Amino acid sequence: MNQKLIVGLDIGGTKIDAGILDTSGKILKKIRIYTEAHEGLDAVIQRIYAVIDTVTEGIKSSICGIGIGVPGQVDVKNGIVVFAPNMGWKNVEIRKLIQERYKLPVEIENDANCGALAEAKLGAGSGIDNLVWITVGTGVGGGIIIDGKLLQGANFAGGEIGHMIIEENGLVCGCGNRGCLEALAAGPAIIRQMRGKIATGTQTSVLRMIEGDLNKITVEVIAMAAKEGDNLSHKVLNRAGEYLGLGVVSLANILNPEAIILGGGVMEVAGHHLLKIIKDIVLKRALSQASKSLRIELAMLGNDAGLIGTSLLMKQFNGRYIL
| Nearest distance from C-beta of residue 140 to Zn ion, angstroms | 9
H helices present in the chain, as ranges: 41-55, 94-102, 111-122, 181-185, 187-199, 206-209, 219-227, 231-255, 265-285, 288-291, 305-312
Size of the site for Zn ion (CB under 5 A): 5
| Nearest distance from C-beta of residue 157 to Zn ion, angstroms | 12
Please say which residue, 163 or 315, places its beta carbon nearer to Zn ion. 163
Please say which residue, 22 or 167, places its beta carbon nearer to Zn ion. 167
Please say which residue, 8 or 247, places its beta carbon nearer to Zn ion. 247
- CA 189, 192, 196, 201 torsion-angle sign: positive
Per the CB < 8 A criterion, the answer to whether 299 and 123 are in contact is yes
| Nearest distance from C-beta of residue 175 to Zn ion, angstroms | 3
| Nearest distance from C-beta of residue 85 to Zn ion, angstroms | 12
Please say which residue, 71 or 123, places its beta carbon nearer to Zn ion. 71
Element (H, E) at 145: strand 140-146
Strand arrangement, sheet containing 149-150: 149-150, 140-146, 131-136, 259-263, 295-298
Binding mask 101-120 for Zn ion (x = CB under 5 A): --------------------
- Within 10 Å of residue 238's Cβ, how many Cβ atoms? 17
Binding mask 159-188 for Zn ion (x = CB under 5 A): ----x---------x-x-x--x--------
Per the CB < 8 A criterion, the answer to whether 259 and 295 are in contact is yes
| Position 191 contacts Zn ion (CB under 5 A) | no
| Nearest distance from C-beta of residue 185 to Zn ion, angstroms | 12
Please say which residue, 180 or 206, places its beta carbon nearer to Zn ion. 180
Which amino acid appears at position 100 of this protein? Answer: E
Alpha carbon distance 8, 18 (integer Å): 6
Contacts of 9 (CB under 8 A, 6+ apart): 16, 17, 18, 19, 48, 51, 52, 66, 67, 68, 69, 310
| Nearest distance from C-beta of residue 86 to Zn ion, angstroms | 14
Please say which residue, 69 or 139, places its beta carbon nearer to Zn ion. 139
| Nearest distance from C-beta of residue 88 to Zn ion, angstroms | 19
| Nearest distance from C-beta of residue 177 to Zn ion, angstroms | 5
Alpha carbon distance 67, 57 (integer Å): 17
Please say which residue, 71 or 79, places its beta carbon nearer to Zn ion. 71
Please say which residue, 51 or 132, places its beta carbon nearer to Zn ion. 132
Closest CA to 112 of 278, 310, 259, 275: 310
What is residue 211's three-state secondary structure? coil
Residues that bind Zn ion (CB under 5 A): 163, 173, 175, 177, 180
